[in-house]
Amino acid sequence: MPANNILVVDDEIGIRELLFEILKDEGYSVRVAENASAARAARREARPDLVLLDIWMPDMDGISLLKEWAQTGQLTMPVVMMSGHGTIESAIEATRIGAFDFLEKPISLPKLVATVGKALAGGRVLAKPGLSFAHLGRAKIMTELRQRLDQISRLRMPLLLTGETGCGFELISRMVHLRNTPWLAPTDHSWLAVNPFAPLAETRDGVLFIEEIERLNRNEQRGLAQLITKLEKFNVRLVAATAHPLQPKIEAGEFDSSLYTQLSGITLRIPSLREHAEDIPDLANTMLLQMVESNECPLRSFSVGALNALRNLEWPGNLPVLQNAVKTLALTSLSTEITTDDVARVAGELGLSVATSDLPMGGIPFDLPLREARERFEYQYFLHHIRHEEGNMSRVADKVGLERTHLYRKLKQLGIRPSGKTE
C-alpha cells in the first residue's frame, strides 16, 4: 500500500526539517514548502493526503491560504494548523473555514503522530465537489448580492429568486441554509397537488427549495399556498425560484396573484454571467480544477489568452453552458495547457459568439478595476482595427503603432486570432 503524502508548510527551516524527519520515520511520504506560494505549487503538482500548515508566514498567513483553498474548491484534504503563539480566536476561525485540527508549538511527538493518524483516517470526508456561492465571483454585483443574502439569512419568510436560466438559483439559495439543518429540493411539483404538507416534517428547521414555480398548474399552486400557511409551525424556510417573469402569467390568469404576493415578500434577482463577466476566468479555473481533482480529466490549466477568450464570449445558458465548455476543453485539449485555439474550436462547436454590449465606451462599465477595464478596452480596440483592415496585419501594426511581433504577442494574450475571431 503506497505511503500517505503529507505536505508540511512552515517558514522556519528547523521546524520543516524536524517534521520531515519525524514523519519520514513514521512511514509517510513528505514534501515541504517554506511559504504560501510554494504550498500552492506543491498542492497543484500533487494533491497531498494531509497538510500541516503554519499560521504565521511572511508572504501570506496560513488562515488566508486555508480560506483561499476553501473558496476555490481545493480544500479536498484535511489541514492541520500549527502555531507557536496561537489564540483561541485563530483556532476557532481555522476550524470554521474547514481546518481539521490545531497544533500548538512546540509540538510533542505523541501529539503530532496521533493528530496526523486521526486526520488521515477521517480526511476523505472533507472533499466538497461542485460549485458553491463562494465560487460565483468577487464582482461588485455579486458582493452586494452576498451582503443582501447575509442580511436575510436568518429570516424565515419565503424568498423568491428571479433571473435567467442557469444563473445558479440552488447555489444562491444554499446561502440561507444553515449548516446541519435539513435541505430538500423536490425534482417535480406533483406532490403539491396531492399532499402539500408531506415534506414539512422532514424539513423541520431547514430549507425547502422549489424551482421553476412558473410551471405550477392550478392545483399545485393551491397546494403551495396551503403549504405556506404551515411553514412557521415547522420553522421551514421556503425558497422559490423562477427564470420567467410571472407578471404576464398573472395577467393571463395562469398564475395566482395572491400566491405571488405570498412568495414575493423578499425577492432577489440573480445576475447573469454577462453582468459579472470579470468573474468568468476564476469560475472556469475552479470548474477545471474540480475536474482534475476528481480525476475526470488529466492535469490541465488555462493560458491567460484562453481565459480572456472565455470571458469575452456570450454565455446564453450561464453556468451550465460555461461548465459544459470547460468540460469539453478539458477532455479534448491535446496539451496540458488549454490555449486560445482550443477555446475558438469549442466556441464554434457549441455555437458561442463574442459578447457585444449597448453600453457607452464600447460596453466598458466604469466600476471595473483599472486592469480589467484596460483589458476590455484593448480587446475591443484591436478587434476593431483587425476587422477594419480586413485582417491585414501589416496595416493593423502600422495603424496601432506596434511591431508585428509585439502585436501578435498582444493578440495572443487577449485571446484574439489575427483573422479577427475570438480564440
Higher-confidence position of 373 and 197? 197
- At 383-416, the pLDDT tens digits run 878 877 778 888 888 888 888 888 988 888 887 8
Amino acid present at 129: P
Taking the model in full, what pTM does it have? Answer: 0.63
Count of other CB atoms within 10 angstroms of residue 348: 12
Strands (E), 228-382: 237-242, 266-270, 301-302, 337-338
Mean of the per-residue pLDDT values of the chain: 86
Give the 3-state secondary structure of residue 102.
Answer: strand
Domains for the chain: give ranges and CATH numbers.
5-126 (3.40.50.2300), 134-271 (3.40.50.300), 275-423 (no CATH)
Tell me the pLDDT band of 126, cut-offs 50, 70 and 90: very low
Cα 405 from Cα 44, distance rounded (Å):
32
Give mean pLDDT, residues 272-292: 90
Tell me the pLDDT band of 134, cut-offs 50, 70 and 90: low
Q: How far is CA 136 from CA 74, 242, 284, in A?
A: 15, 19, 10
- At 81-91, the pLDDT tens digits run 998 776 677 77
Tell me the pLDDT band of 217, cut-offs 50, 70 and 90: very high
Tell me the pLDDT band of 125, cut-offs 50, 70 and 90: very low
End-to-end CA distance of the chain: 45
- At 294-316, the pLDDT tens digits run 788 988 999 988 998 999 899 98
Which runs of consecutive H residues, i.e. helices, occur in 294-339? Answer: 304-311, 319-332
Closest C-alpha to 53, from 74, 77, 82, 78: 82
Return the pLDDT at 321. 95
Give mean pLDDT, residues 117-139: 66
Return the pLDDT at 26. 92
Return the pLDDT at 87. 65
Return the pLDDT at 379. 82
Tell me the pLDDT band of 1, cut-offs 50, 70 and 90: very low
Return the pLDDT at 73. 66
The yes-or-no verdict on residue 207 having pLDDT over 60 is yes
Cell of 58: 511572511
Tell me the pLDDT band of 196, cut-offs 50, 70 and 90: very high
Return the pLDDT at 366. 61
Q: Sort 198 into a burial class: Cβ within 10 Å, 0-12 / 13-18 / 19+.
A: middle
Give mean pLDDT, residues 60-77: 82
- At 328-368, the pLDDT tens digits run 999 999 999 999 999 999 999 998 887 655 444 455 666 66
Cα 22 from Cα 112, distance rounded (Å):
9
Give mean pLDDT, residues 239-268: 95
Cα 292 from Cα 72, distance rounded (Å):
13
The yes-or-no verdict on residue 272 having pLDDT over 80 is yes
Give mean pLDDT, residues 187-198: 92
Residues with Cβ within 8 Å of residue 164, at least 6 apart in sequence = 243, 270, 272, 318
Q: How far is CA 164 from the centre of its chain?
A: 18
Q: Output the 3-class SS for 57-97.
A: CCCCCHHHHHHHHHHCCCCCCCEEEEECCCCHHHHHHHHHH
Closest C-alpha to 365, from 136, 141, 137, 133: 141
Q: Sort 96 into a burial class: Cβ within 10 Å, 0-12 / 13-18 / 19+.
A: exposed
Return the pLDDT at 373. 77
Return the pLDDT at 25. 93
Give the 3-state secondary structure of residue 209.
Answer: strand
Return the pLDDT at 67. 85
Cα 194 from Cα 80, distance rounded (Å):
50
Amino acid present at 370: L
Return the pLDDT at 381. 84
Return the pLDDT at 96. 77
Cα 68 from Cα 60, distance rounded (Å):
11
Phi/psi region, residue 324 (left: phi>0; alpha: psi -120 to 50; beta: rest), is alpha
Cell of 213: 414555480
Higher-confidence position of 274 and 3? 274
Q: Are 33 and 7 in contact (CB under 8 A)?
A: yes
